[in-house]
Each structure stands twice: as structure tokens, then as C-alpha cells.
Amino acid sequence: MNAMRNINTKGRIAVVTGAGSGIGRAVAKALSGAGWSVALAGRHPGKLAETARAMEGDALPVRTDVSEPEDVDALFAAVGERYGRLDLLFNNAGTFGPGGVPLEDLPYSAWRKVVDTNLTGTFLCAQAAFRLMKAQDPRGGRIINNGSVSAHAPRPDSVAYTATKHGMTGLTKSLSLDGRPYRIACGQIDIGNAATDMTERMRRGVPQANGELAVEPVMDVADVATTVLHMAELPLEANVQFATVLATGMPFVGRG
């Protein structure tokens, strides 16, 4: 057991949830390219293995459902055993839920799945990260939560996703306040239309607030990863509390 511990004592250690694809994979690759060791958390081991192969440095894939407390405990225990510390948590795992379902028809089970993954999962991972970051020497670390422009304004028929992303903002603020005495910084990145499998529908047209269907522009997911990397590599005495990174022409600012 002890032979596995602290294999990167001079490096920086990160956990990325939802690391099997999309934004999580792009951020894991960016961190790895900058010299970080990265624990990759996600529900699909095959996809985590693909991410690990695409990285330049040390990776620790851990099959994790962030909505399950036992899975989260096992993830952070593995990080503590392998590396002995944690410098960064990127809370990225999330789901949009069923699209195009009117609020009155949304099944309770669908609501719960979105809330359990997006909000409860973020809380559970942050809680586990706090425990490690408070106990380690030197003390402290950073948490970056993946919000969304839906933390500011909803899309039609997105009540569960929008509610969780508004909740994410409150969680980020609470983590920031509660982390101050322990040198734990917390920020949030609100992302709009990064080109991933989750946003592929933007290219085909999505419902707008006025009832029309419109194609929306997307941006390279690598630009999101660059922003997260900048936030991650600040000294703990500095923090990007909130950052919004979005496709320049998407209908968010103003009235469309």
C-alpha cells in the first residue's frame, strides 16, 4: 500500500469528475499537459480509459457515480492513498435530463436524477475534498464548479437543470466562505455552448424563449479547458470567483 503513496510528491494533484468525455476530458488533458496528475472520475470505465490514453502524464481512472456517497468516498480514498494530497477538484459531472418535456409532465424520477447528479454530487465531492484539503500539509486547495449560463437564465423546458445550476451558484459561494479559514478557494465557471456531445443539438436547432427553433453557434471545448487551467494555476491567495465563457454569438446577452 505505502509503495503507491505520494508517487508525485512535487507535482499537483487534481480530481476531475465527468472525465470520460466532453468538458471533463478536455480539462483533464489540459491539466495533464501542464504537469498535473489527474484522478479521472466517471460512470463508464471504458471512457475513462480513453481519456487516460489521451493524456500526457499520470492518470488514475476511478469508476464513480457522484450521486452515490459510497462511490465518492472510494474515489477520494483512492486519491489520498495514491497521492497523499489533493490540490484541485473540478466538479464537472452533470446531466441535462430529458429535453423538450413540459414542466407538468416531467417525471419525479427525472427530476431526482438531475438534482442528485448535478447538485448533490457536487456537494458530496466538495465535502470529501474539504476533508482532504483541511487535513493535508500544507493545508488548502481549490475547487472549481462547472456552472452554466443556465445559472443565470433558463432555456425552455429545463426546470431541473436550471434549478440545479442556480443552486450551484449558492453552493460555490458557501464553499468559498467556509473554505477561507483553511486556504480552500472555490470558484465557478459558467459555460455556454461548448462543442461536446451534450451540445450537438445546438447545430441542429434548439427551442428559443420566443417559441422559435434556431441553430446556435458553439465554441471549441479547448477554450473552456484553457480557462479552467488558468483558474486552477492561480496561487491560493487569488481566486476567480465566477467566470463566464461562451460562444460569442449565442443568444444569451440581451434579448437574443
Q: Is the pLDDT of residue 63 over 60?
A: yes
Note the residue count of the chain: 256
Q: Is the pLDDT of residue 1 over 60?
A: no
Assign 2 a pLDDT band (cuts: 50, 70, 90): very low
Q: What's the CA gap between 253 and 33, in Å, rounded?
A: 33
Q: What's the CA gap between 245 and 149, in Å, rounded?
A: 9
Cell numbers for 204, please give them: 441542429
Half-sphere exposure at residue 160, Cβ-oriented, CA atoms within 13 angstroms: 26
Strand 141-146 to strand 88-91: parallel, antiparallel, or no bridges (unpaired)? Answer: parallel
Q: What is the mean pLDDT of residues 37-61?
A: 97
Look at residue 255 in the predicted model and tell me its pLDDT. Answer: 64
Look at residue 197 in the predicted model and tell me its pLDDT. Answer: 72
Q: What is the mean pLDDT of residues 44-48?
A: 98
Q: Is the pLDDT of residue 10 over 80?
A: no
DSSP sequence for 169-216: HHHHHHHHHHHGGGTEEEEEEEEE-BSSGGGGGGGT-EE-TTS-EE--
Domain that holds residue 73: 10-246
Q: Which phi and psi angles does 50 have, rounded to 5°? A: -65, -40
| Domain CATH number, residue 222 | 3.40.50.720
Strand 206-207 to strand 184-192: parallel, antiparallel, or no bridges (unpaired)? Answer: unpaired
Q: What is the mean pLDDT of residues 11-35?
A: 97
16 neighbors 27 (Cβ within 8 angstroms): yes
∠ CA(120), CA(30), CA(190), 5° rounding?
A: 45
Q: Quick check: is 254 in a domain?
A: no
Q: What's the CA gap between 173 and 67, in Å, rounded?
A: 21
Q: Quick check: is 216 in a domain?
A: yes
Q: What is the mean pLDDT of residues 64-86?
A: 98
pLDDT, tens digit (0-9, with 9 covering 90-100), for 133-160? 999 999 999 999 999 999 999 898 899 9
Q: Is the pLDDT of residue 3 over 50?
A: no
Q: Quick check: is 49 in a domain?
A: yes
Q: Quick check: is 127 in a domain?
A: yes
User: Residues of the chain with pLDDT > 90: what percent?
Assistant: 78
pLDDT, tens digit (0-9, with 9 covering 90-100), for 77-123? 999 999 999 999 999 999 999 888 999 999 999 999 999 999 999 99
> Nearest to residue 93, comparing CAs of 73, 63, 70?
63
Look at residue 100 in the predicted model and tell me its pLDDT. Answer: 81
Q: Quick check: is 253 in a domain?
A: no
- What percentage of the chain's residues is helix, strand, coil (to nearest 5)? 45, 20, 35
Q: 182 burial class (0-12, 13-18, 19+ CB within 10 angstroms)?
A: middle
Query: How many independent structural domains does the chain possess?
Result: 1
Q: Quick check: is 3 in a domain?
A: no
Q: What is the DSSP letter of 167?
A: H
Q: Quick check: is 136 in a domain?
A: yes
- The helix/strand/coil state of 35 is coil
Look at residue 212 in the predicted model and tell me its pLDDT. Answer: 85
Number of other CB atoms surrounding residue 110 within 10 Å: 15
Q: Quick check: is 110 in a domain?
A: yes
The catalytic residue positions are: 161
Q: What is the pTM of this model?
A: 0.92
pLDDT, tens digit (0-9, with 9 covering 90-100), for 173-228? 999 999 999 999 999 999 998 887 767 777 788 888 888 888 888 999 999 999 99
The verdict on whether omega for the bond into residue 102 sits within 30 degrees of 0, i.e. cis, is no
